[in-house]
A = this chain, B = another copy of it.
Amino acid sequence: MRIGLGQFDAVVGDLEGNAERMREIYGQAVEKKVDLLVFPELAVCSYPPEDLLLKKHFLDDNRKVVEKLATNCTDATIVVGFADHYRGKTYNAAGVLRNGRLANVYRKGLLPNEGVFDEPRYFEPGNKPMVITLDDLNIAITICRDIWDIEWLAKFLKNAGQIDTLLNISASPFHLGKIRTREDIVSDCATRLKCPVGYCNLVGGQDELIFDGRSMFTDAAGKIVAMARAFEDDLLIADITKKNKTVHIEPQPNSSGADIGLLEEAYLALVLGTKDYVRKNGFSKVLIGLSGGIDSAITAAIAVAALGAENVTGITMPSKFNSAETISDAERCAKNLGIKFMTIPIGSVLEQFNGSLEKVDGWNSKGLAYENLQARIRGTILMSLSNQFDALVLTTGNKSEIAVGYTTLYGDTAGGFAVIKDVFKTMVYKLAKYINEINSREIIPKSVIDRVPTAELRPNQKDSDSLPEYDLLDKILKGYVEEDKSAQQLIDEGLPKEAVSRVIRMVDRNEYKRRQSPPGVKITPKAFGRDRRLPITNRYNHSNGLK
């Protein structure tokens, strides 16, 4: 029997569009003589549909689309994820479409509720395994988390009889290196159940989440015999046969995508996330404030890779505090990328603004408020152009500065999508070099990479005036933000006490800024966003009782 795993980039809520795309893939699969075609978890409505799932009319519409798909696709058996509303309850389900109808429904047993997941908010857990028989093969169907607790799964399937193949449909969000964990999970599942596994994962960017595809087949010994492309649609095919009770799997030749490293993963995730957010929200063009610094330079490079140079405009907005070097670096960067470039100096507006504010007793033209004012004038210019030309503004802040609030709310945080919001500054440098490498030429000028980081909002300003060096800062942030460690733990690991306490205070105090910042691509195990839900009003002191 020939099985196809049809991973594709579904759009949340686009029931008809997703079905249409599945019909296309079905057409290709039938041409390739696929008998059983598998689509990802919740492929009909895409993942996560969030509170759309609370709307009865949405659930009804999603079922109609599944039923129509069944009548359209009669030359193969289809397994497809959808939201199943049954007797007043909703399930995260896999429909088996056979002979023109929705023949069986499997309901997900394990519902994740940590990190970015909220499934128990919407779904009831299912409690019955589903094994379908096709061509003498007993095929168990599972959904995503079901296979992540192998003890639970073994128990769940214990009385389900002989299983010759296990299918898992997933919408497993990406983070750097997660593919290794996923490979282990799928492989362990095969070893434990002693059968080949077909694992079909979603593709695409949905708000902050990225789904990276890389569907796979393993043999019964847990060896991965084929893997679909990363971050792209793909149809991965294998033949499964049973002889003398032994199940054999044979993937189609050359069906594995190339293995990729962490930096490439990060880059491709950022590109896909940007492309999908912009396009799926109805935009084609983007605007970026190009400061001449490294953050905006790599943001622009990612935007060009995502949308094409013709859809990206860089705008430099110099003040008297910007050096001639940074201004010319901004322009060089735009030239290297082949994007449209504009210069709109902010001096005269800044002066006028400052003049109005100087009439207020106590206004200080040299303080932090004045620095922020410059950032807000730039944000306002970008948003004005955005409104006028229907182009989305991409913000350029990195995870390190967003963590400690080294940003101006409604200034450099103003925009629709924050491309590198989950990229630490230390990784920004690596990505800059990587971008130059893959282009085999200088995209990000060397002077941009080498410059001491500065916001240029006052004379001779350096980031290190206000923050620890980025190497240290990123270590503290990784421990505190991503690993939930206490100040004491970080200090015990050898990090300096004063910096640890200060950084933790800064992170906590700036929750309000993050709450009002645009979404952006999650690439780490814990991004700021639905991953990490902390109150703004919060007096907890993490440095309480430090030794």
Contact = CB atoms under 8 A, between A and B. Distances in A.
A224 interface: no
B486 A57 contact: yes
Given A49-B540, A380-B410, 10 more contacts: A13-B540, A50-B533, A50-B535, A52-B540, A362-B389, A363-B384, A368-B387, A370-B384, A515-B518, A515-B519
B12 A535 contact: yes
A540 B353 contact: no
**Range, interface on chain A:** 35 or more
A48 interface: yes
A327 interface: no
A542 interface: yes
Contacts of A225: none
Contacts of A24: none
Interface stretch (A27-35, A66-74, A113-121, A150-158): A113-121
A359 interface: yes
Nearest to A544: B61
A535 B277 CA distance: 11
25 contacts: A12-B535, A12-B537, A12-B539, A12-B540, A13-B538, A50-B534, A51-B533, A52-B538, A114-B121, A118-B118, A344-B357, A353-B381, A353-B384, A360-B388, A362-B389, A372-B383, A372-B387, A376-B380, A376-B410, A380-B410, A383-B409, A410-B410, A410-B414, A512-B518, A516-B517
B364 A373 contact: no
A134 interface: no
Tally of this chain's copies: 2
A269 to B, nearest CB: 16
Nearest to A47: B535
A257 to B, nearest CB: 25
A103 interface: no
Contact of A380 (B280, B368, B377, B542): B377
Would you list the 6 A-B pairs with minimal beta carbon distance, nearest first?
A: A13-B540, A57-B486, A369-B387, A14-B539, A369-B388, A410-B410
Contact of A484 (B13, B54, B488, B540): B54
A17 interface: yes
